[in-house]
Amino acid sequence: MPGGVSSPVRAFGAVGGSPRFIRRGEGAFVEDVDGRRYVDLVMSWGALPLGHAHPEVVEAVRRQAELGTSYGAPSEPELQLAETICRLVPSIERVRLVNSGTEAVMSALRLARSATGRRRLLKFAGAYHGHYDPMLAAGGSGLATLGLDSTVEETAVVPFNDLAAARSALAGGDVAAVIVEPVAANMGVVPPAPGFLRGLRAACDETGTLLVFDEVITGFRLDLGGAQAVFGVRPDLTVLGKIIGGGLPVGAYGGRADLMAMIAPEGPVYQAGTLSGNPIACAAGLATLAVLEREQPYAGLEAAAERLQEACAGAPVTINRAGSLLTLFCTADGVTDYDSARRSDLEAFARLHGAMLAAGVYLPPSQFEGWFLSTAHDDEALGLIEIALAQNLERIIAAR
C-alpha cells in the first residue's frame, strides 16, 4: 500500500514514529497488535459517538449480516435511515444515501451546478470536503499536514469567518454553491464567528447561490439536528457521513425537495452506486441514531470536553471547542481561521503526540484535526487523559 496505509494521515508522517495497527476497540479504548492499550481520541475520526463496539450497534450489524451483506436492490434499512434523517434534520426534506463523505460532497455540488446553471464554487481556506478535485484547493486536514494543496480554477477560496471576503466572492453572481463546515473541523476545530453563518445565508439568498453545509463531522455530534440546529441556520443542501453509518462506510446528501427532485431517476442529475444504502451500514447507523435520540447525551459529551479543556488551563496553548469537538493548538495567539491555525508549532505538537501515545492516549496524528469524545469516555478514561496532559503538556510546550 502507498505509505503502508489506506489514508495518508494514518502514516504518522507529521508526528513521527510508526503508526499503530489496531486490533480491537472497546468503549473508549483501542488495543494495537502488540497488545498496548490506549484511550482513543480519534474514534474513527468522529464516527463513533457511542464508543467502540457498542452492544446495540454490534447486535444490529450481526442481525443484518445474517440476512445478507448487500443486495444491489432497495431494502428496509436504507428506507428507515432515510426517514430518520429527514425527521431529525428539518432542512433535509429528501435524502440520497451514498458510500462516503467525499461521494456525498461530489454529488451535492454536481446537483448545485445543475440547479443553478453555474460552474464556480466557493469554499473556505483550510476546509477539507473530501478528495474531490474542486475541493482540494487550500484544503485542511491531511492536506494541511502533508502539504498537498492544489489550485483549482473553478473554486474560489476565502478565509473562514471572513464574511466580507465571502460576500465579495459572491458579488459577481456566478457562484453555484458555497460549501462550508458550520464548525470547521479539518483545520483543527474552529467555531464560526457570531453572525458568520447567518451572513452567509443572507449573501446566498441575495445572489441566488446555494448554501451547502458539510456536516460530515458535526451532523448528529453537536445536536440531533446537526450544527444547523445549534446555530439556527437552514442550508439548501446538507452533506452527512460518519455517524449515520455507526462506524461503517456511508454518506448522504439531502435538502430541499425541489432540488433533490433533480436527482436521477426523477431528474437529469445522474448519481448511482452499487453499495449505496448498504443494509449493514444502514443498520449500524440506525442503531447509533436510536441510542442518541433515546439517551440525548449531548450535555454529557460537552461536559467531558469542558473537563479536558480545563485540564489544559494555564498552558500557553489555545483550546478551541464546539460542543464535544475540541483541538489543542500549540500556540497561545488564538485560532479563528486557517492562517492562524498554521501558526501552531507543529514540532511541539509532534512531541506532544508522541508523549501522549507513550502515556496511553491516542491523539489524532495531525495538528489539524479534532479530538473526538464518546459516551464511553467515563471518569476512568478522562482521568487517564488528564494525567497524561499534566505529565507532558507544560514540559513539551516549554521546550519550544
Amino acid at 386: E
Would you call 124 helix, strand, or coil by DSSP? Answer: strand
Render the burial of 370-387: b for 16+ CB within 10 Å, e for the rest. bbbbbbbbeeebbebbbe
End-to-end CA distance of the chain: 35
Read off the C-alpha cell for 123.
469554499
- Can you give the three-state secondary structure of 265-299, one letter per residue? CCCCECCCCCCCCCHHHHHHHHHHHHHHHHHCCHH
* Residues paired with 358 in a beta bridge: none
* Residues paired with 252 in a beta bridge: 97, 240
Task: Please identify which of the residues 242, 253, 298, 338 carries the catalytic annotation.
Answer: 242
Task: Please identify which of the residues 38, 40, 123, 214 carries the catalytic annotation.
Answer: 214
Counting other chains too, the contacts that 256-259 makes at CB distance below 8 Å and 24 or more residues apart are 256/91, 256/93, 257/93, 257/94, 259/111, 259/115, 259/210
Task: Please identify which of the residues 128, 253, 338, 362 carries the catalytic annotation.
Answer: 128
Q: Is 242 a catalytic residue?
A: yes
Place of cell 473537563: 307
Q: Is 333 a catalytic residue?
A: no
Which residues are annotated as catalytic? 128, 214, 242
